[in-house]
Each structure stands twice: as C-alpha cells, then as structure tokens.
A = this chain, B = another copy of it.
Amino acid sequence: MKYVIIGAGQFGRALALKLADTGNEVTVLDEKEAVVTELKDRVAYALVGDATDPRTLRQLDLTGDDLRVIVAIGEGFERSIMITGLLKEMGVKHIYARSVNTIHARILKLLGVDGQIRAEEIAAQQLADRFMNMSLLHFRKIDSSHALAEVHLPSDWIGKQLKDVDLRSKYKLNLLTVRRGVLSETGDDVLATPNAPVIDFPEPDMVFEQDDMLVLFGLEESLKKFAEHFGV
C-alpha cells in the first residue's frame, strides 16, 4: 500500500515511521526542512513544500486506488481544510484527516473524507480509563460495562492449573490469554501496553508460572473485585 502523509509533526512523523517500518511505500511532505531531512532515509520519499499550494501537490503522484493520503495537521484548521479541499478537487480516492474540534470535524465530513482521526480524544479516553483503573496493569474498555484488563498472577496460583482456579464461576472472568516471558522496555509512557509475548490459547491443563500476567475479560466490577481480592 502507498501512503502520502502531509504534515510531519509528532503525529505525522510517528505514523510515517510505523507505516514505513511495516513495508509500506510512504511519502512525507512538510514545510520544515529539518523534519524532512530527519525522515528522508527512513521513508520512501520525504519532500519540503507547502501543501496549500496546488503546484506542490501536483508534484506528487496522487493517483491510484492503492493510495491513501493522510492530512496529519494538528494545528491550523484552515490549512487542513484547504489541503483536504485541494486533494478532493484533484480526485484523490482515499483521504483521511486529523480533526481538532467539532466544527473542523463537520467541515471534513462535508468534504467527504474517508475518515477522521481525533488523536487527542483517543489518548484522553485511554488515559482517563487508565487513571480509573490504576490497580490493573493495562485496561481497555470493550463496551460501557465490560473491559479487558491485565493483572499479575495471584502469587498462590503459581503451579496451579487453569482448570483448578475456577476463574469463570468464582470470579465471573474469562481468561483470554497469558503473557509469559521477558518484558521488553516500554518506556515511561503510562499508556504503553505491557509487551511480554502471549501464549496463544491457554488450555485447561495449563500450569501457571511465576511472573505470568493474566489477560482477563469481564465486567469492570468483576475485574476490580479480582484485583482488590488478590492485591494484584
């Protein structure tokens, strides 16, 4: 797949690198030379230019069904709209744009973008969820009352089999999987996922080991009760 990313601020830059690292052909366009220089050996094409100028956009190959253009501008409402409008006029098939507030979102919708990205909204929701559940290692809501959460193995479960601990009937929780192995460095980002590998599907006769982390699914209140009960 081909991607053109317009704007290489924190978000655009991170997105460009993640897409390039997974084998995509990524083109980045930004006004700042320093940003472009830093990216040019890490993506297919990195160009300096003002995307609100149609001549700049015409220099890019924006045709093809397998191209997605992302307007990754976080500030400068007007520039985001101008560029998105130009891309639409040029007949670009797949356009995604970052939106910064509800008016911006409504205009992007009228322009007919394929999707919007509310980066801060997503991060704020995740952080609020995290704060509300600091006793759990990692927490993701699945609907308004259910969640997926990770907890340390209760210490007296070491050596027990999954079928012996009665997670489902006693605690009303389902074990999705178990993280087992070396935890690589996630940095200090409070929203980073614990990144030890998981062991596919735990069988009923699986034996718990020290340092296992349980990935559990159930009602939020069941998850909290479990964490409190075991002090995990």
Contacts and interface: CB of A to CB of B under 8 A. Distances in A.
Interface of A: 1, 3, 9-11, 14-15, 18-19, 22, 68, 70, 74-75, 96, 100-101, 105, 108-109, 113-128, 131-132, 140-146, 148, 168, 174, 176-177, 179, 187-191, 193, 195-198, 200-201, 215, 217-219
A188 B115 contact: yes
Chain copies in the assembled complex: 2
A149 to B, nearest CB: 13
Nearest to A100: B10
Nearest to A118: B189
A68 B130 CA distance: 13
Contacts of A14: 120-121, 124-125
9 contacts: A10-B120, A14-B125, A105-B187, A105-B188, A117-B123, A118-B191, A122-B126, A122-B191, A168-B201
B174 A176 contact: yes
Given A19-B128, A200-B146, A123 B11 contact: yes
